[in-house]
């Protein structure tokens, strides 16, 4: 299927990044959110990030101008009905995602492919509540979208081959690499990454090391570009906890039990960079460990 127009639901951190790369690759993008402020902020951020890419010689000014011209915004989900592919990038809550797809369905063209950027929720279950489970799949971008090269493509039990090939063609046009994953809790990246982060929190919780020693150990001892606790703050501790809960509920294995300290930080509203406090305090000039 020839995909030309793409709808993106959610103008947050992931949604604006997805709109950015899609527009730069030549697709017409319609970005939707429930907040006009969120839409305005997203477009301003895309413009700022593209300007940075131009200054670094990674994008030509003419390509940046063309990409910005391809992005339109709307507060109405119904407007996304005229797109060929919808990427849902709303909050990582299953009930919210079901509501979005339910509102979208009456307005979609018969050929429109529905996808979710979910990092852990069952694609089969999301698809089963729509009228097109065979044209539904997971389209999981990594954060930050313009920088990260991987996209996980997750087939639900009903996803057909044509849908997979169409989404694979989009990933290739973006200049990214696709990893094909089966529809099991947290897919590939987060199935491996989140238990590592959770184990780092347990290491902190049990007093084996402090924040600084744990992060430095993994950076210098395992050559990770970022320590696991620093990475958790970047992702968002609420997101980390949500994915650990999906793993724990979906696989019923105690090795996926979220660390009580991770739960405590989320209860405190210390969610990482986005709330200025997590395993580090970001309110000063330099991040300071909180434990």
Catalytic residue among 117, 166, 190, 198: 190
Q: Is 248 a catalytic residue?
A: no
Q: Is 272 left (phi over 0), alpha (psi -120 to 50) or beta?
A: left
Token pair 């990409």 in the structure block, residue: 67
Element (H, E) at 178: strand 177-182
267 is in an annotated binding site: no
119 is in an annotated binding site: yes
Q: What is the Cα–Cα distance from 203 to 198, expressed in whole angstroms?
A: 9
Catalytic residue among 88, 140, 166, 198: 140
14 is in an annotated binding site: yes
160 is in an annotated binding site: no
Q: What is the Cα–Cα distance from 262 to 242, expressed in whole angstroms?
A: 11
Q: What is the Cα–Cα distance from 207 to 244, expressed in whole angstroms?
A: 21
Contact at 8 Å (CB) between 186 and 246? yes
169 is in an annotated binding site: no
Catalytic residue among 119, 122, 166, 198: 119
37 is in an annotated binding site: no
- Residue 269 DSSP code: T
- Residue 118 DSSP code: -
Catalytic residue among 88, 120, 152, 230: 152
210 is in an annotated binding site: no
Q: Is 116 a catalytic residue?
A: no
Cα-to-chain-centroid distance, residue 255:
24
1 is in an annotated binding site: no
Q: Is 55 a catalytic residue?
A: no
196 is in an annotated binding site: no
92 is in an annotated binding site: yes
22 is in an annotated binding site: no
Q: Is 152 a catalytic residue?
A: yes
Contact at 8 Å (CB) between 155 and 180? yes
Which positions make up the binding site for NAD(+)?
10-15, 33, 92, 97, 119, 143, 274
Catalytic residues, by residue number, are: 119, 140, 152, 190
Specify binding-site residues.
10-15, 33, 92, 97, 119, 143, 274
């Amino acid at each position: 299927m020839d995909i030309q127009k793409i709808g993106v639901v959610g103008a947050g951190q992931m949604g604006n990044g997805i709109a950015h790369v899609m527009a730069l690759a030549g697709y017409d993008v319609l970005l939707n959110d429930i907040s006009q402020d969120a839409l305005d902020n997203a477009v301003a951020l895309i413009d700022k990030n593209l300007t940075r890419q131009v200054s670094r010689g990674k994008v030509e000014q003419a390509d940046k101008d063309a990409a910005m011209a391809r992005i339109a915004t709307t507060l109405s989900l119904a407007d996304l009905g005229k797109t060929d592919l919808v990427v849902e990038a709303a909050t990582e809550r299953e009930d919210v995602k079901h509501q979005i797809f339910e509102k979208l369905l009456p307005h979609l063209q018969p050929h429109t492919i529905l996808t979710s950027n979910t990092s852990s929720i069952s694609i089969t279950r999301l698809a089963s509540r729509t009228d097109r489970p065979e044209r539904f799949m997971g389209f999981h971008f990594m954060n930050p979208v313009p920088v990260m090269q991987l996209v996980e493509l997750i087939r639900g039990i009903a996803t057909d081959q044509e849908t997979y090939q169409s989404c694979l063609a989009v990933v290739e046009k973006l200049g990214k690499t696709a990893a094909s994953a089966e529809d099991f809790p947290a897919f590939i990246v987060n199935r491996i990454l989140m238990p590592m982060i959770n184990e780092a929190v347990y290491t902190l919780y049990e007093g084996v090391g402090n924040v600084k020693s744990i992060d430095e150990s993994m950076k210098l001892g395992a050559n990770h570009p970022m320590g696991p606790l620093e990475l958790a703050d970047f992702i968002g501790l609420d997101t980390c906890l949500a994915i650990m809960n999906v793993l724990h509920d979906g696989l019923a294995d105690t090795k996926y039990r979220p660390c009580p300290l991770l739960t405590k930080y989320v209860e405190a509203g210390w969610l990482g960079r986005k709330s200025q406090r997590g395993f580090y305090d970001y309110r000063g000039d330099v991040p300071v460990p909180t434990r």
